[in-house]
Structure 1
Amino acid sequence: MIQVQNLTKTYAGFTAVDDVSFTCRPGAVTGFLGPNGAGKSTTMRIMTGLTPASVGQALIDGVDYRDIPNPGTQVGVLLDASAQHAGRTGREILTLSALTMGLPSSRVDEMLELVSLSDTESRRRVKNYSLGMRQRLGIANALLGDPKVLILDEPANGLDPAGIHWMRSLLRHYADRGGTVLLSSHLLHEIEIIADEIIVIGHGKIVAQGTKDELMHRARGGADSTFVHSVDDEQLQKALVGAGQQPTAVQGGLQVAVGAEQVGQAALAAGVALVELRPAGGAGLEDMFLELTSATQREKTITEGGVA
């Protein structure tokens, strides 16, 4: 379990993290979202003992990271895949970590196989690795000591679609076995798929936290929202309007602020065959994120009339 309590970090009058508190529980993947400069990386650096807090504390199973004996066997960390010795081979990096943690050399081969780095690739110097290969090596290093907690900052950065799917499955399996995962990512779709709970930070403050379903429900104003696609969306839209609904055209179909059952009944009454009917998840997560962090976004929203 990760417990962050009233965490604050200031630099020469600038407050990077402002009274942040949250808990990441075992058996769950917690997504950590926020715009660039919101305080995510600073919070994670404090949690892993790299940056001292000005006020508050971050505890791993009730202990400060710096006080954990042989921390690599308790907490797996990947904060920057590029921060690895460029002149060493991937195998050498894992071997040195294994020696430091007192692990058998066989563990190195197990991790290389787990992250799909071949023997030939493992003997190449890291400076010749792609970003995706460095991410795989960093994940191998984080998992080397078979820790109970994982703290990962943008681990999907540089991975191709197959690699992202692999990482998602890996983290889901890890959490399902009772592990605690804190995952920072700017890939909202990936967070939507894998996260059980979500924390949103902006300007160093927590602006929302809860289960994914709770936050999505709140973002829709407490109402259900459904995505629907049919063989004739124009006719379906007329049917929904006739049923007192206000459908919105979105990419690939329509979004309606009612439950799927009501949408299905309207389609049945109009004789329109449905191709897809599901809760409106992905777009809702993006809308929620943009709404909650609107005051901290560098970019302005582009509308049909120009810049909003």
Structure 2
Amino acid sequence: MIKVEGLTKTFGDFVAVDDVSFESRPGRVTGFLGPNGAGKTTTMRILVGLTRTTQGEATIGGHHYGDIPNPGRHVGVLLDASAQHGGRTGREVLTLGARTMGLPPERVDEMLELVSLTPTEAKRRVRNYSLGMRQRLGIAHALLGDPSVLVLDEPANGLDPAGIHWMRGLLRDYANRGGTVLLSSHLLHEVEVIADELIVIGNGRIVAQGTKAELLQTAGTFVRSVDNDALARALHDSGMTAVPSGEGGFRSDADPAEVGKVAAEAGVALVELRPADGAGLEEMFLQLTADTQREGDTR
């Protein structure tokens, strides 16, 4: 099990991770979500001993990563698929990993077959790999030691739809066999399909966490008007959220009566006002991280 408790990391005056706590349990895929710069990668780097924490701790199976003997046999890590020696072949990368972990040579062939890298591709230099091929090689290296825990940062980057479907099945099967998966990704639909639990981080702090069912349950109000800009201003001025919805209106965290009252006081005619359906992951993500997004007016 992965356990993060009161984790804080500062770089000078900048707080990258601010009192973060969560768990990722065996048999579950935990989706770790947040905008760029929210603190996801820093948290993962601390977890696997690549960055020192300022305060708090992160453990795997009750141990700090650096204290685990032969950690590759217990924890599979993929933080950057491009961080591989470009002059080595794919087979050489895995062979060195296998030797370091004390694994038999045939394990390399098993992993190459698992991630669908052909014998010809395995002989090519990594510098000549596409990003998708590097991702497959990185996943092979993470699984090389048959670990019980996987820590993956954006593993679907560069994969085509077939590759994403393959990875989804691979991780689902891994978790079903009792493995622990902590998965960071910007592909929200894929996370929604595969994750059992979700952790949302913004500006270095956890803004929501729980099971997928808990976080995506029906809540709030859907509203649409003849002047959505005026409605959005009125809702924001009243301290209510107004997150654009794919249905041509807004989703607000307030109940319909409160939203209707604000619209009436602002003189905005409503076209539709009803309790919101269960939010999709994208809408939930945008609502929870609205004040951390880079889109919009940057003046």
TM-score range, shorter chain: 0.7 to 0.9
- Indicate the percent of aligned positions where both proteins have the same amino acid: 73
Map 1:1-20 to 2 at 5 A. Answer: 1-20=1-20
Q: Deviation of residue 249 (structure 1)?
A: 7.8
Q: Deviation of residue 171 (structure 1)?
A: 0.1
Q: Distance in 1 between matches of 2:246 and 2:174?
A: 38
SS of the counterpart of 2:216?
helix
In the alignment of these two chains, the number of paired residues is: 250
Q: 1:243-268: CA deviations, max 9, x gaps?
A: xxxxx9849xxx9xxxxxxxxxxxxx
* Amino acid in structure 2 at the alignment position of 1:73: R
Q: Distance in 2 between matches of 1:28 and 1:75?
A: 15
Q: Distance in 2 between matches of 1:178 and 1:285?
A: 25
SS of the counterpart of 1:77?
strand
Please give the TM-score of this superposition, normalised by the length of structure 1. Answer: 0.78
Which one of 281, 291, 294 corresponds to residue 290 of structure 2? Answer: 294
Show structure 2 runs of 5+ residues with no match.
Answer: 223-244, 252-276
Q: Deviation of residue 89 (structure 1)?
A: 0.2
Please give the TM-score of this superposition, normalised by the length of structure 2. Answer: 0.80
* Amino acid in structure 2 at the alignment position of 1:288: M
Q: 1:108-163: CA deviations, max 9, x gaps?
A: 00000000000000000000000000000000000000000000000000000000
Q: 1:95-114: CA deviations, max 9, x gaps?
A: 00000000000000000000
Q: Deviation of residue 221 (structure 1)?
A: 1.5
* Amino acid in structure 1 at the alignment position of 2:193: I
* Amino acid in structure 2 at the alignment position of 1:297: Q
1:265 corresponding residue in structure 2: none
Q: Distance in 2 between matches of 1:72 and 1:132?
A: 23
Show structure 1 runs of 5+ residues with no match.
Answer: 226-247, 256-279, 302-306
1:273 corresponding residue in structure 2: none
* Amino acid in structure 1 at the alignment position of 2:198: I
Q: Distance in 1 between matches of 2:86 and 2:30?
A: 31
Q: Deviation of residue 284 (structure 1)?
A: 1.8
Map 1:1-308 to 2 at 5 A. Answer: 1-217=1-217, 220-221=218-219, 250=247, 284-300=280-296
* Amino acid in structure 2 at the alignment position of 1:104: P
Q: Distance in 1 between matches of 2:174 and 2:122?
A: 24
Q: 1:157-210: CA deviations, max 9, x gaps?
A: 000000000000000000000000000000000000000000000000000000
SS of the counterpart of 1:63?
coil
Q: Distance in 2 between matches of 1:30 and 1:128?
A: 33
The alpha-carbon distance between structure 1 residues 288 and 110, as it changes in their structure 2 partners (threshold 3 A), is same
Q: 1:203-257: CA deviations, max 9, x gaps?
A: 000000000010001xx3279x9xxxxxxxxxxxxxxxxxxxxxx9849xxx9xx
Runs in 1 of length 4+ with deviation above 3 angstroms?
248-251
